[in-house]
Structure 1
Amino acid sequence: MQIILIEDDKRISDFILKGLEENGHFVTLCKSAEAFIDEYLQHSFDLIICDIMLPGMDGMQLVQTIRYKKIYTPILMLTALSSVQDKVSALDFGADDYMTKPFHFDELLSRINALTRRFQYAQKEEKSNVFLFGDISVDVQQHQVKVANEEVVLSPREFKLLNYLIENANKAVSRIQILNAVWGITFENHTNVVDVYISYLRNKIEKNRKYIFTIKGVGYMLKTEE
């Protein structure tokens, strides 16, 4: 595993470096938050271990900066600050775990392994939230839709409608069912809003082929062919 350690205390950093490398990890040491930012832009890492009390930008500010830049690498805070408020602040700012000094090295290894497992599981879950139907790709997490690998911009309501149709692909769904699922309306009330939004959606996703079919007397069906 590629780990980056941000620690300015040589005694502690030497101890962690030695232990992690003996356990088969590759470790890069940075002695300040600024050095980390420069290093991270050049390489990617599987885990960040960060002290709070650092020269210049402190660890709390660094965690905020990391998350602001949409870097989602797991972060383990390792610090002498042990108050409940310090822990809460670190976790609220974006850290994934928090250990206080002094610590047992075996516990550090266990925390690293647990963080890695959680991150890998989260990645698998995120991948499982990408749905494919024909040449349509819907990423639920990123709220992104692509048709034939070209991004299509949908409004929140159009996105919810497409998602509902994909969940019920190859099944006829009535206008009332769509109203209930997409708008939260439980009766039709003489509205044509479903037909209007179906038309919007067709114009955006039916670039190369027809997907949304009208089922006479019922409603609509999402399928890949007549």
Structure 2
Amino acid sequence: STYAMILTNKDTVPRVYYGDLYTDDGQYMANKSPYYDSIDNLLKSRIKYVAGGQSMSIQYVQGDGSMAKDSYRGVLTSVRYGKDAMNEKDQGTQETRTEGLAVIESNNPDLKLSSSDQIVINMGAAHKNQAYRPMLLTKTNGLASYQSDESVPVNEIRYTNADGQLIFTSEDIIRTANPQVSGYLAVWVPVDAKDMQDARSQSSDQSTNDGQTLHSNAALDSQVIYESFSNFQSLPTKTSEYT
């Protein structure tokens, strides 16, 4: 859930830690962690979909009466609109329509929406009447990770309405508690994006004289840091085991 947020967040250069993709002990990259598939998919999807403006909010639900603490009633949602769309009203371009995504998450394993609760996510004017698919989706026994349109079951496709909203109900939000998810996590992306779509922005070679080392813009947002080591790795025993 943390990686789903930081890898899609605006004005952030996220850092991915080796020990979250692979187990710390043993030889380098020898054993994948339970989170490898999801983080790997998020990194690839970051290239393909993450661009444009962002809107983040907490949506509160009534629940079914089993949630005792009000602080646990919130569901966090975050939307990226796609390149050339900085807010929900921007129409953007044709490129905008196949970019952007939505993150939905809760850290409450007892979360249960009532029959009247809805999670409404405004994907923006550029995404009206559009098909979306899950890229990550909570299941009762873990987290499904879909890397293509073809891999998603037809019954899991959702459509925005004429206002560009994705609407989820108690039938969609399935909370769980297992080594991959405690609560709920889902990431939704547009259907029909090209396989090699690249939503990143290239850095500029124009010089600046404003005294700032870093500039918060789309080019900076396109960067990512990989911390590619662990202090707990085994020493290599042969050449092929070196980093």
> TM-score category by the smaller chain?
under 0.3
Relative contact order: is structure 1 or structure 2 higher (C-alpha 8 Å, sep ≥ 6)? 2
Q: Which has the higher helix share?
A: 1
TM-score (structure 1 length as normaliser): 0.24
State the TM-score, normalized to the length of structure 2.
Answer: 0.23
